Amino acid sequence: MESFQLEKKEDKTKGKPHRGQWKNGCEFTLSLIGYGVGLGNVWRFPYLCAKNGGAVFLIPYAVFLVVLAFPMTLLELSIGQYSGKGAYGVWDICPALRGIGAGMIGVSFVFCLYTNTILSWILYFLYNSFLSPLPWTTCDNWWNTDTCFVRNKMVGNYSRYLVNITNNLVNTTDIMHTTNYSLLTDAENKTSNSSLIQTSTEEFWNYNVLRISSGLDDIGAMQWHLVISLVIAWIMVFLCILKGVKSVGKVVYVTAIAPYILVTIILIRAATLPGAIDGIKFYIIPDFSKLANPQIWAQAMMQIFFSMGMGWGALITMASYNKFNNNVMRDTIIYSIVCEGTSIYAGFAVFAVLGFMSHETGIGVAEIVRTGPGLAFITYPEALAQLPIPQLWAVLFFLMMVCVALDSMFVSVEVCITTINDLIPNVTPRKRLMVTAATCLIMFLATLIYTTQVGVYIFQLVDWYLTSVTVFLTTAIEAIVIGWIYGADRFIDDVEKMLGKRPSVLFKILWQYVNPTLLIGLLVFTLVKYQPPSYGNYEYPSYAAAIGWIIALITSVPIPILMIKEIRSRKGSIIQRVKTSFVPNDRWGPAKGYGPVGQM
């Protein structure tokens, strides 16, 4: 497609103060790594790898890293760095599709609520990790039911301590059935009450942490222990982003590096324990027959997509604070290798501990392993409780999780703050502080719904719908805009201006053909494979699906609205209006004019 000429429009950025930049490339790279190495690297990738052929899963994973994740990451980092604009302002490149930027911001906003909810759970577990005995290792607490049991060391097959006030005999087979773990769920619901056999760890999660209600229709009360944890979580985030990239750049030296130290300590200790090798074998032994299953390839593509954080606006926002001539190609390579290498590395620590737990309890690793919050808040705490000095290992594990969650939060909140600041003329440090405080306060208030007893059901509903359809759609359109509307050749010229050398012609092929095709295919696959939401044994009411689709589509609503608004603002015939609305305006261009490095 022939490139459009720039539409002339008044440059509203003139006279605006400098936005600020990363002090050095190291801070930007660490922030990237901190953002990319999220909770999914710890609790989802190892599970997918183990369940989908072990080391064989790395083959489709590596393929999609090269043909999808790497070029799309380079694309997002490049448009942010080239323009010096956030996720909304960068759409001066195609004003008619500015709704894509608005959608990215909306997704990031909801993601902040989602992630800080998890952070509040982590902080509560961290607090309880200092107690002796660990509260999730016993069945004589106020929250435990009559059917709670504790997994002890193996004696023959199973040895369990079962609390049952009625002294009824519970069939061991029934107990064994409760150790089956599902892919999408993390806990059982309380509706079955005393008839449900659960471990002490599961009951601590369900009835102490969540104090879960019977379902979506039962909102229940606000849980003040979670409210306090949430307040602490938002204060931590606010203090870390207080001065924008200036403060984030300092904090990431701790939050991005500490998880590697903590994971390594846990891995070294776990590797010395009996059964660790069996757990690692379960994780990596290849099953090449799995490669013929298209489901494995789809799961690999989805995991690499979410792991790299494309389509959320965060990569664009972070790169917008780079120097114009920063080597974005080098950063993309480092980010891709470290982010995905971390997923593999963390898997060794996870399965070494699970192998030890399997050895101690006599339960197979396949029955123990979970994905999502179930791994972090049920399986792993239970496994760590088997170690000598369990408080130490629990504290180290949840400290690592705090760092991982905080890193994801910094950037996601900054997406929203940067957008607001870019729209405010003459942003001063005082105005920025007010925007940051107001943003964190609004997000805190919006997150309170998750602290109610129905919170986890809403959490699951949001996770089920939001993080797939919208993100795949916006990223697919983003690839089409760069590859065809703006023009891949023209974009490669822009990247050449920053790097001083021209990227390979392969990127043109990837951006124009491969990436849009894969992303649209992933979107279609998600819709075809759609299943109604569920949580453990709980089946959502029929209206929950309607709410879910509203959640999924609400962040896409700005796309047609802002497109119509942009077209109507043009002059001429309808055809002329449509054409000119897809032309980059004169606010799109290199960010060189923003001046020397400054402070925010």
CATH number, residue 70: 1.20.1740
310 and 413 assigned to the same domain: yes
139 and 128 assigned to the same domain: no
124 and 139 assigned to the same domain: no
Q: Is the pLDDT of residue 567 over 90?
A: yes
Structure tokens at 313: 């606006």
The residues near 386 (Cβ < 8 Å, ≥ 6 apart) are 356, 357, 360, 361
111 and 188 assigned to the same domain: no
Residue 307, marked binder: yes
Residue 6 within any structural domain of the chain: no
Residue 318 within any structural domain of the chain: yes
Read off the pLDDT band of 480 (50, 70, 90): very high
Give the pLDDT confidence score for residue 31 in this predicted structure: 93
Residue 395 within any structural domain of the chain: yes
Structure tokens at 388: 């000598």
- Counting the structural domains of the chain, the total is 2
The share of the chain scoring above pLDDT 70, in percent, equals 87
Q: Specify the 3-state DSSP secondary structure of 404.
A: helix
Give the pLDDT confidence score for residue 101 in this predicted structure: 94
Q: Is the pLDDT of residue 175 over 70?
A: no
What does the alpha-carbon distance between residue 496 and residue 583 come to, in Å, rounded to a whole number? 21
188 and 318 assigned to the same domain: no
Give the pLDDT confidence score for residue 203 in this predicted structure: 93
Residue 37, marked binder: yes
C-alpha closest to that of 500 among 315, 316, 330: 330
302 and 416 assigned to the same domain: yes
Residue 193, marked binder: no
170 and 120 assigned to the same domain: no
Better-scored residue on pLDDT, 50 or 219 = 219
Which one-letter amino acid corresponds to residue 171? N
Residue 260 within any structural domain of the chain: yes
Better-scored residue on pLDDT, 32 or 464 = 32
CB 19, CB 424: distance < 8 Å: no
DSSP conformation class of 222:
B
Give the pLDDT confidence score for residue 196 in this predicted structure: 66
Give mean pLDDT, residues 31-40: 89
Give the pLDDT confidence score for residue 512 in this predicted structure: 95
402 and 435 assigned to the same domain: yes
Read off the pLDDT band of 592 (50, 70, 90): low
Range of the domain at 73: 25-132+224-264+282-339+382-594
Structure tokens at 452: 């109610």
Structure tokens at 351: 């399965």
The share of the chain scoring above pLDDT 90, in percent, equals 52
Q: Token pair 């006599």 is at which residue?
A: 362
Residue 3 within any structural domain of the chain: no
- pTM, two decimals, is 0.87
Give mean pLDDT, residues 138-145: 92
Helix (H), strand (E) at residue 160: strand 160-162
What does the alpha-carbon distance between residue 434 and residue 419 come to, in Å, rounded to a whole number? 14
C-alpha closest to that of 324 among 56, 568, 3, 80: 80
Residue 343, marked binder: no
HSE, CB side, 13 Å, CA atoms: give it for residue 585: 17
Q: Is the pLDDT of residue 473 over 70?
A: yes
490 and 562 assigned to the same domain: yes
Residue 359 within any structural domain of the chain: no
What does the alpha-carbon distance between residue 391 and residue 130 come to, in Å, rounded to a whole number? 6
Structure tokens at 466: 């939001």
Q: Is the pLDDT of residue 39 over 80?
A: yes
Mean pLDDT of the chain: 84
Q: Specify the 3-state DSSP secondary structure of 413.
A: helix
Vertex 542, ends 537 and 545: CA angle to 5°?
90
Give the pLDDT confidence score for residue 4 in this predicted structure: 43
pLDDT digits (tens, 9 = 90+) for 248-292: 889 999 999 999 999 999 999 999 999 999 999 988 888 888 888
Give mean pLDDT, residues 408-415: 91
Which one-letter amino acid corresponds to residue 587? R
465 and 439 assigned to the same domain: yes
Which one-letter amino acid corresponds to residue 303? Q
Structure tokens at 516: 């849009």
421 and 393 assigned to the same domain: yes
Which one-letter amino acid corresponds to residue 36? G
Q: Is the pLDDT of residue 587 over 70?
A: yes
Give the pLDDT confidence score for residue 170 in this predicted structure: 36
Residue 369 within any structural domain of the chain: no
Residue 110, marked binder: no
Q: Which of 18-32, 109-123, 245-259, 387-401 has the lowest mean pLDDT?
A: 18-32
Residue 422, marked binder: no
C-alpha closest to that of 318 among 304, 300, 335, 305: 335
Give the pLDDT confidence score for residue 127 in this predicted structure: 97
Give the pLDDT confidence score for residue 152 in this predicted structure: 63
CB 352, CB 280: distance < 8 Å: yes
Q: Is the pLDDT of residue 189 over 90?
A: no
* b/e code 246-266 from CB counts within 10 Å (16+ = b): bbbbebbeebbebbbebbebb
Structure tokens at 192: 């079955």
Give the pLDDT confidence score for residue 446 in this predicted structure: 95
pLDDT digits (tens, 9 = 90+) for 425-448: 777 888 889 999 999 999 999 999
Among residues 183, 210, 237, the one where a domain terminates is 210
Q: Which of 72-76, 333-337, 570-574 has the lowest mean pLDDT?
A: 570-574
Residue 368 within any structural domain of the chain: no
115 and 145 assigned to the same domain: no
What does the alpha-carbon distance between residue 362 and residue 358 come to, in Å, rounded to a whole number? 5
